[in-house]
Structure 1
Amino acid sequence: MTQILYKVWPLLLGIVLIMLGNGMHFTLIGLRGGIEGFSSTELAIVTSGYFVGFLLGARFTPFLIRRVGHVRVFAALGSFMSAGLIAFPLLTESWLWTVLRLLVGFCMSGIYVAAESWLNDAATNETRGKILSAYMIAQTLGIIGAQGLLTLGDAQTSVLFICASILVSISFAPILLSVASVPAVVVAQPMPLRQLFNSAPLGTVGIFLLGSVYATQSGMGAVFGSQIGMSKNNIALFIAMLFIGALLMQYPIGWLSDRMDRRKLILFASCAGGLSCLTGILPSNQLWTLMAAAFFAGGVTTPLYALFLAYTNDSLDPNDMPAASGGLVFTFGLGAIIGPLTTGWAMQHFGPSAFWLMLCITFSAIALYALYCMTQNYSTVSIEESESYLGVLPTASPIAVEAAGEWAVEQAETEHDSQNTQ
């Protein structure tokens, strides 16, 4: 493992720095938006703008890279993202923030495509799983660390936005100064949604609803905290708890995923998420209760994403997995666009507690659909024949999702061969 990390540490360091900047800006939008007097609906539109840009970036960045090359695209996107972050406190109109968020989302998605192409190129069949796991851990640690940095400044000034911009700017140095090869970027055409649904209905519907959950948590969590009067430090801790839960619960859910019916695990995890959100609605909530609700709600969200990917791959021929990966990323993005919009509308009309209510409803919808699918005669694979689980984050581009699918197939083939030789 040490040799593997030594080979890719500049890329991982760059990713941590990028996520520090990006994670700061996600929470800052909610904090500064409240100070500027933006409504829940306006901040919801701003939040959704990021995911619109993210989808567009995932679609068009591979074409840009093939046209002008990795390094130029990577550097250009980094420059635009850094400029966008520093422009937020200068352009305090909600529609301008929506444009800036779309720009940042596009750049961030393109940065993921480029970085993950380099990481995948540096991996072998034996090391791909460990490299992808290290990459996902680096991303999560960066987001958690970003919340700590928010406590060092004042959201009413430009200082924190400037710090986020600086972190993004310097993050490209270790990456661009270390990469030597220029890998080809080949992203399969996304599978049509109708075909994807026919192949894996639970994976398709579930990942759409989960996109709504993830975007609401990460984009509207700070808005909720601001509206109920949390201090800046407590809001930062609240957002951090969402991702600390994801980091700590990824392994046990992944372990269970390879040992039980994944439909049942999806049902149990979504029920746990719904129950944790239900506790957040209680009128007599203390701070520690809200933190615990955030820990468990965030703790099941990220593992559920990887679980839906693994479950969908179980239903597909290996040749169809790359196209399905693109379709799932697109479906997740659609949910991520719609989720904050519906939650923002609900918070505008029913108050801040609608944040938890909408999350609870969405988790419940996932659970109910999983239960429905378990009653149907859909073809399922046995636990022994299911693909291996790898903790892929919802922020991953189709490059990482495809690589995780390849790794799962390789692991399954290796285990099958080893069993045959025994």
Structure 2
Amino acid sequence: MLVFFRSKHEVITRNYDFTGTGFSPLPSKPSISDNQKFHWSVALVKDLAAVFASIFLSAIGYGILMVLIAFKLEANVKDEILMSISTVAQIGAGVIFSRFLPSLGQKAGMINSIYIGSILSAICSLLLYWYFGYAVWLFTIYIIGTSFFICGVTRNTLMIDLAPQHMRSMIISLGVMLVAIGNSLGPVILGVLKTEETFSSFAFAASCYLASMLPLARLKKIESNVREEKKISIWRYIKNSPKIMFAGFAVSYAMSSASAFSIIYGIKIGMPNNEASLLLSVLLFGTILYIPIGYLSDILNRRMMMIFSTILSLICLYGLYVNDDIQKIYTLLFLMFGCLAGIKLPAIVLINEKYKPTQRLAVNSAFSRVSLTGNICGLLTTGIIMKNLGASGLWISIMIILLLFLLFCCFNYSQKFIRKELTLADFSIFNKHQNEQLSEA
């Protein structure tokens, strides 16, 4: 079977023998070794810039639309439970569609998949201006959640595919930074335009999604076209990479909980509304830590970095639990975001390095599905815990999931060590850049 994938800025074709257990490479043209010295090219820089531009424009549209959705819900849906269901529907759409995304990428291609998702996002953005009833609203939110998932996962896969191996963490960090900046600029742009909830605001968000398609036109000729017949269950990915998948689940659980309930936490402990609202801003401002963490992730042992970052996160959370000083709470929130990034960023790099390029879209889809499930579980579980334990339940909830992740890692490594699948060298501080690709992904 012939598989096409992108490597070192060229489209390489390689024959794969489809056996009972997976894909094994057959001798073909000499491949470019990852150990060879890498040289930047103008074309590669332009390709990465195109992906970054697409990510940034889409993030601006998302930032605008999330504000408009909140306004619409507040004006038309008074029930808080129905508002929560709307949020869960948007997230759940990605969980449900994740199993179909690899098929879409296979049939339509990665760039066309992004085009389809962007057009759907634009159409739904316009439709959200009119409120035809909660059922229609929920359906539209579900469709736009699906489109967000298609674009987000496929863009990330394309970005990782383009990234040089030795700089993969830094490239991902830049992508995350652009998403955060774009999301934060959305409300600012909305305020500058002063269009508020008019149709023009929804149209501007839609135009951002359509504009995000334009930079990707240059990648049409060189995109990865993966033709792979074998269907891999998400449970197989979880079985092969339990710690990585658990990391995605735990961090998403923690981040969704902190993002959704940090302001409520501030109000419950007696902070003025303006100071409580800053809690979310401080938390998200921690995105700037992605750059140094990305640099460290390219140098240090990523698995050990995940464990160490989990321990630091637990220390920050304990500080938040026992502290009532506002300045210390701000500082600890900022640091906690950085520590959580130190868990998830290595996990993203590891999951993409562990599987063959032909499986990247599928495995990123599976990883996102697990992460989105973590988002939903975090929102529901933390809400219940806070209702019973009060404001501090926010930190208790996050501590529980991170502690479970840490215990699971320790148990998993101890089992492997007993079976002599690991040696002390595997616990080295520095990244040895080992090729860990599985023959079966």
TM over 0.5: yes
Counterpart of 2:206, as a letter, is S
Q: CA deviation at 1:296?
A: 1.9
Hey, what does 1:234 align to over in structure 2?
278
Hey, what does 1:138 align to over in structure 2?
175
Hey, what does 1:355 align to over in structure 2?
394
For 1:174, which of 174, 197, 215 is the aligned residue?
215
Task: Report which of the two structures shows the higher radius of gyration computed on alpha carbons.
Answer: 2
Counterpart of 1:142, as a letter, is V
The 1:141–1:353 alpha-carbon spacing in structure 2 relative to 1, beyond 3 Å, is: farther
List per-residue Cα deviations over 1:183-239 (Å, max 9, x = no partner): 31357634452x556555434444433332233345555666788624797366235
Task: Note if contact 1:50-1:102 (Cα within 8 Å) is conserved in structure 2.
Answer: yes
Hey, what does 1:51 align to over in structure 2?
91
Determine whether 1:84 maps to 2:124: yes
Determine whether 1:165 maps to 2:202: no
Identity %: 15
Within 5 Å, which residues of 2 pair with 1:17-416?
17-25=57-65, 42-68=82-108, 72-88=112-128, 90-91=130-131, 98-116=138-156, 119=159, 127-130=164-167, 133-134=170-171, 136-153=173-190, 157-158=196-197, 163-176=204-217, 179-181=220-222, 183-186=224-227, 189-191=231-233, 193=235, 199-218=240-259, 229-230=273-274, 234=278, 237-257=281-301, 262-263=303-304, 265-282=305-322, 284-286=324-326, 288-308=327-347, 327-347=366-386, 353-376=392-415, 377=418, 379-380=421-422, 383=425, 409=435
Q: CA deviation at 1:171?
A: 1.5
Q: CA deviation at 1:9?
A: 1.9
Q: Which moved more, 1:225-234 or 1:241-250?
A: 225-234
Q: CA deviation at 1:78?
A: 1.0
Q: CA deviation at 1:273?
A: 1.4
Hey, what does 1:397 align to over in structure 2?
none
Hey, what does 2:18 align to over in structure 1?
none
Q: CA RMSD in A?
A: 4.5
Structure 1 counterpart SS, 2:315 = helix
What is the alpha-carbon distance in structure 2 between the residues aligned to residue 171 and residue 56 of structure 1?
24
The 1:352–1:84 alpha-carbon spacing in structure 2 relative to 1, beyond 3 Å, is: farther
Q: CA deviation at 1:51?
A: 2.7
Q: CA deviation at 1:13?
A: 0.9
Counterpart of 2:146, as a letter, is F
List per-residue Cα deviations over 1:350-407 (Å, max 9, x = no partner): 55554333223222222233344454436325546999979xxxxxxxxxxxxxxxx9
Unaligned runs of 5+ in 1: 391-406, 412-422
Higher helix share: 1
What is the alpha-carbon distance in structure 1 between the residues aligned to residue 318 and residue 74 of structure 2?
25
List per-residue Cα deviations over 1:32-75 (Å, max 9, x = no partner): 76787867655543333333222334332333344455565433
The 1:191–1:90 alpha-carbon spacing in structure 2 relative to 1, beyond 3 Å, is: same
What is the alpha-carbon distance in structure 1 between the residues aligned to residue 393 and residue 70 of structure 2?
16
Q: CA deviation at 1:268?
A: 2.6
What is the alpha-carbon distance in structure 1 between the residues aligned to residue 345 and residue 183 of structure 2?
23
List per-residue Cα deviations over 1:8-43 (Å, max 9, x = no partner): 322221111112322454577668767878676555
The 1:60–1:136 alpha-carbon spacing in structure 2 relative to 1, beyond 3 Å, is: farther
Counterpart of 2:151, as a letter, is I
TM-score, with length taken from structure 1: 0.70
What is the alpha-carbon distance in structure 2 between the residues aligned to residue 43 and residue 35 of structure 1?
11
What is the alpha-carbon distance in structure 1 between the residues aligned to residue 132 and residue 383 of structure 2?
19
The 1:237–1:28 alpha-carbon spacing in structure 2 relative to 1, beyond 3 Å, is: farther
The 1:242–1:26 alpha-carbon spacing in structure 2 relative to 1, beyond 3 Å, is: farther
What is the alpha-carbon distance in structure 2 between the residues aligned to residue 32 and residue 239 of structure 1?
25
The 1:74–1:327 alpha-carbon spacing in structure 2 relative to 1, beyond 3 Å, is: closer
Q: CA deviation at 1:137?
A: 0.9
Counterpart of 2:293, as a letter, is M
Counterpart of 1:140, as a letter, is M
Count of residue pairs the alignment pairs up: 385
What is the alpha-carbon distance in structure 1 between the residues aligned to residue 267 and residue 142 of structure 2?
23
Q: Which moved more, 1:214-223 or 1:74-83?
A: 214-223
Task: Note if contact 2:169-2:297 (Cα within 8 Å) is conserved in structure 1.
Answer: no
Task: Note if contact 1:40-1:344 (Cα within 8 Å) is conserved in structure 2.
Answer: no
What is the alpha-carbon distance in structure 1 between the residues aligned to residue 47 and residue 352 of structure 2?
29
Unaligned runs of 5+ in 2: 1-39
What is the alpha-carbon distance in structure 2 between the residues aligned to residue 2 and residue 319 of structure 1?
21
The 1:374–1:60 alpha-carbon spacing in structure 2 relative to 1, beyond 3 Å, is: closer
Counterpart of 1:340, as a letter, is L
List per-residue Cα deviations over 1:151-200 (Å, max 9, x = no partner): 4545993266554433223211222366334531357634452x556555
The 1:208–1:69 alpha-carbon spacing in structure 2 relative to 1, beyond 3 Å, is: closer
